Structures are given as C-alpha cells and as structure tokens.
C-alpha cells in the first residue's frame, strides 16, 4: 500500500476490488471538510400514526387494498411494481445487435419496519431491528426459491427519493442477475480461483490489521469505510465468518447484526445532528438453486450522500458521470469521524 501520508495529502486513484472500477481521490481539496459552522436542520415532527400515510396500520393503499392493523413488521406486494411475475417473454431478435432487449420477470415487495410512523431504524430498539433482519432473511429465502436475484434495500430520506417517511424498505426479486451484483460475482469468482479464499474475507482481515477504516465491530460483524468508498461516509457491513446468503445467518448473528446496525445508524444521525439519509442494500450469492458459492461473502452497502452538514451533500455529476467517481475526503478521514460519532 502507498505511504499513508502521501495518500492523505495528494491526489491518487483507488481500485474497487469488488467491481474492478477505479476511483479518483483528491484529499488536497478538502483536508478537513467538516470544519466551520454546522447548521442542523430544524426537527421535523412526525406523529406515531398518520391518517394520510399509506403505510400506517389500518390505512388504505392504492385501489381497494388496506393494511392490516399490524403491530410489528409488515410485508406486502408493491402496488406499483417495477417488474412483474407474468411479463411476456421477448425474443432477442432485432434488426441490429445494437438494439438488443430482453424480457424480465420478477416481483417487488415493501417491508414496513414498524407500525410507528415517527421512527427510523436508528430509533428502533435492537429487538425490533432484529425482527427486521429476520424478515430480510425469510423473504430472501422465499423469493430465492423462484428468482435468481433478491435485492433487499432501503432508501431513507427525501434526499434519496423516498416519498414516504414511514420506516420501510423494499425487496425486488428478478429472474436475471443485475449489473452491479454481476460485477461483484465475477470479481469474487476470479479471486477465489486465483487464491482459494473469499475476497471479502481476506479484505476484512486486512482491514482489521490496518484498523484505519474500521468504524465499529463485534464478535460477528465489522463495519468499515471501504478503501474504495465513493460516497463521503459510505460503509460496508461484513460478517466475520463465511456467509453466502442472509438466510444462512445464525440467530445469534442476526441479533448481533441488529446491534451493530443500531450503532452505525445512530453514529450517522449524530454526525450532522440530523436523520441521516442513505441508500442501503444487501448483496449475497445469487439464488434460485444456484448451489454452493464459496467465492461469495454476504455484505451490506450503505451509501449516504451528506458531505459537510445536514444540508450539504455530495453530487455525482460532471467528472463523476463522464469519467469516474471522485471524492475529496479520504476513507480514513471519514472512518475517524464515524468512529468518534459511534462513541457518542
């Protein structure tokens, strides 16, 4: 690895080992981007129940659907699905190979994390977060029997395009392997064939040895700002032992995952004294009877956009869209900030 002092002061590129893509880092542009006045957003009041919320217990949704008066987690098929289970097959026959198309089938579900309208995952007790983890695992197991890819994710906050503040996430299951997990599958498979070990487990050991980017850890999980982090306070959540898919997690590992998520999400909220927006998603081995995949290691990505304060965010525009991702704050600086925030 390059000299740490050089990395902290001079522009350089870092390789994303999971995707094979490069990232430009420009630490000289903002060595201490959190200095200066930080103005948190004024608190927003949300009631425990909102009569006009289509996710609250007992409320109507689209059409004639109505939510039950649920008291814990609640899962339902999205009323406006992006993919459909009965979509027609499409022949890949076009006048030119430049106009290819392929039919897809799948389903989309919504997971209400809590009946309380005024909570986020960060606000929920560990026991209730553990119930959400169980739902993630159960839904992955169920949908994975039919579909090749099951994407569990959450978009939190209006900044990330979330139209309803009620605590919820989504699951999209498809009969194809999407682009990002396909890249991760190829890179992890290549590493396994070359080394006989899982890429992310070796990466985890290396991160623990260096310790510069570790945010928090317990017996079963580690949270790091990855070496190749693209978003300012991006994190990666990785289990300590080999785990290919979320349903493979043991009960104790699910409980410890809930605990470390509580720590991480609370740290995010403390960082700029605001309910931190992010996109979060789980990646595990493809499903639908693909069998053993020892090259895969389960992990979660957290992509939060905030950079300097509750109102200043990172935009992926210009050079990022036309050339490659770029960041000013280094992964090591971000990890130090998050460590401090996690400690309260």
In DSSP notation, 67-90 reads: ----SS-EEEE-TT-SS-TTPPP-
- Three-class SS state of 112: strand
Q: What is the reported pLDDT for 121?
A: 98
> Can you tell me the distance from the alpha carbon of 96 to that of 311, in angstroms, rounded to the nearest whole number?
47
Mean pLDDT of the chain: 93
Is 117 one of the catalytic residues?
A: no
Q: What is the reported pLDDT for 38?
A: 56
**Tokens 């050991």 belong to residue:** 205
E strands present in 27-129: 74-77, 106-112
E strands present in 106-243: 106-112, 149-156, 168-174, 214-217, 221-224, 235-239
> Can you tell me the distance from the alpha carbon of 71 to that of 73, in angstroms, rounded to the nearest whole number?
7
Q: What is the pLDDT of residues 30-60, one digit of tens each?
A: 655 445 455 666 677 899 999 999 999 999 9
Strands lying side by side in the sheet with 106-112:
74-77, 106-112, 168-174, 149-156, 278-283, 299-303, 235-239, 221-224, 214-217
**Tokens 């069998």 belong to residue:** 291
pTM, two decimals, is: 0.94
Name the pairing type of β-strands 278-283 and 149-156: antiparallel
Give the pLDDT mean for 267-290: 94
Min mean pLDDT across 20-34, 158-172, 266-280 is at: 20-34
> Can you tell me the distance from the alpha carbon of 253 to that of 240, in angstroms, rounded to the nearest whole number?
10
Strands lying side by side in the sheet with 12-15:
12-15, 22-25, 326-327
Taking alpha carbons only, the member of 104, 189, 191 closest to residue 148 is 104
Give the pLDDT mean for 235-248: 98
Number of Cβ within a 10 Å radius of residue 275: 19
* Higher per-residue confidence, 310 vs 325: 325
Q: What is the reported pLDDT for 40?
A: 63
Contact 308, 34 (CB under 8 A): yes
Q: Which residue of the set 28, 117, 166, 168 is catalytic?
A: 168
pLDDT higher than 90, residue 117: yes
What is the percent of the chain where pLDDT is above 90? 81
The phi and psi torsions of 171 (rounded to 5 degrees) equal -135, 120
pLDDT higher than 80, residue 77: yes
Contact 214, 223 (CB under 8 A): yes
pLDDT higher than 70, residue 344: yes
pLDDT higher than 50, residue 146: yes
pLDDT higher than 70, residue 325: yes
> Can you tell me the distance from the alpha carbon of 4 to that of 292, in angstroms, rounded to the nearest whole number?
39
**Tokens 């076009």 belong to residue:** 94
**Residue 311: pLDDT band by 50, 70, 90 thresholds?**
confident
> Can you tell me the distance from the alpha carbon of 115 to that of 40, in angstroms, rounded to the nearest whole number?
27
| β-pair partners for 300 | 237, 282
Contact 339, 212 (CB under 8 A): no
> Can you tell me the distance from the alpha carbon of 173 to that of 88, in angstroms, rounded to the nearest whole number?
17
> Can you tell me the distance from the alpha carbon of 181 to that of 299, in angstroms, rounded to the nearest whole number?
11
pLDDT higher than 60, residue 336: yes
Of 21-35, 77-91, 223-237, 287-301, give the range with the top mean pLDDT: 223-237
Q: What is the pLDDT of residues 169-215, one digit of tens each?
A: 999 999 999 999 999 999 999 999 999 999 999 999 999 999 999 99
Min mean pLDDT across 228-237, 252-261, 321-330 is at: 321-330
> Can you tell me the distance from the alpha carbon of 312 to that of 41, in angstroms, rounded to the nearest whole number?
11
For 29, residues 6+ apart whose C-beta sits below 8 A from its C-beta are 328
Instruction: Write down how long the chain is.
Output: 344
């Amino acid at each position: 690895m390059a000299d740490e002092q050089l990395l902290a002061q001079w522009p350089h590129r870092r390789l994303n080992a999971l995707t094979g893509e490069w990232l430009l880092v420009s630490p000289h542009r903002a060595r201490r981007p959190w200095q200066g006045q930080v103005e948190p957003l004024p608190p927003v009041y949300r009631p425990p129940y909102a009569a006009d919320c289509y996710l609250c217990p007992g409320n109507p949704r689209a059409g004639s659907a109505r939510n039950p008066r649920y008291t814990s987690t609640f899962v339902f098929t999205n009323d406006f699905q992006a993919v459909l289970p009965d979509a027609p097959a499409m022949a890949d026959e076009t006048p030119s190979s430049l106009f290819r198309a392929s039919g897809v089938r799948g389903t989309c579900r919504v997971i209400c994390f809590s009946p309380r309208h005024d909570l986020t995952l960060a606000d929920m007790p560990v026991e209730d977060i553990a119930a959400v983890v169980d739902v993630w695992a159960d839904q992955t197991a169920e949908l994975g029997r039919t579909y090749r890819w099951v994407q569990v994710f959450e978009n939190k906050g209006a900044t990330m395009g979330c139209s309803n503040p009620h605590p919820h996430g989504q699951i999209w299951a498809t009969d194809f392997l999407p682009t990002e997990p396909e890249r991760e599958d190829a890179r992890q498979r290549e590493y396994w064939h070359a080394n006989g070990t899982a890429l992310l487990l070796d990466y985890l050991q290396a991160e623990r040895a260096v310790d510069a980017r570790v945010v928090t850890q317990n017996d079963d999980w580690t949270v790091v700002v990855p070496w190749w982090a693209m978003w300012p306070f991006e994190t990666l959540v990785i289990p300590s032992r080999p785990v290919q898919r979320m349903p493979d997690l043991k009960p104790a590992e699910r409980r410890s995952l809930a605990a470390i998520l509580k720590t991480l999400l609370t740290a995010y909220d403390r960082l700029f004294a605001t309910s931190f927006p992010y996109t979060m998603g789980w990646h595990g081995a493809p499903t639908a009877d693909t069998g053993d995949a020892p090259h895969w290691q389960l992990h979660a990505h957290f992509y939060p956009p905030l950079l300097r304060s509750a109102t200043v965010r990172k935009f992926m525009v210009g050079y990022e869209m036309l050339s490659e991702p770029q960041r000013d704050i280094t992964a090591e600086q971000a990890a130090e900030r998050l460590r401090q925030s996690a400690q309260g």
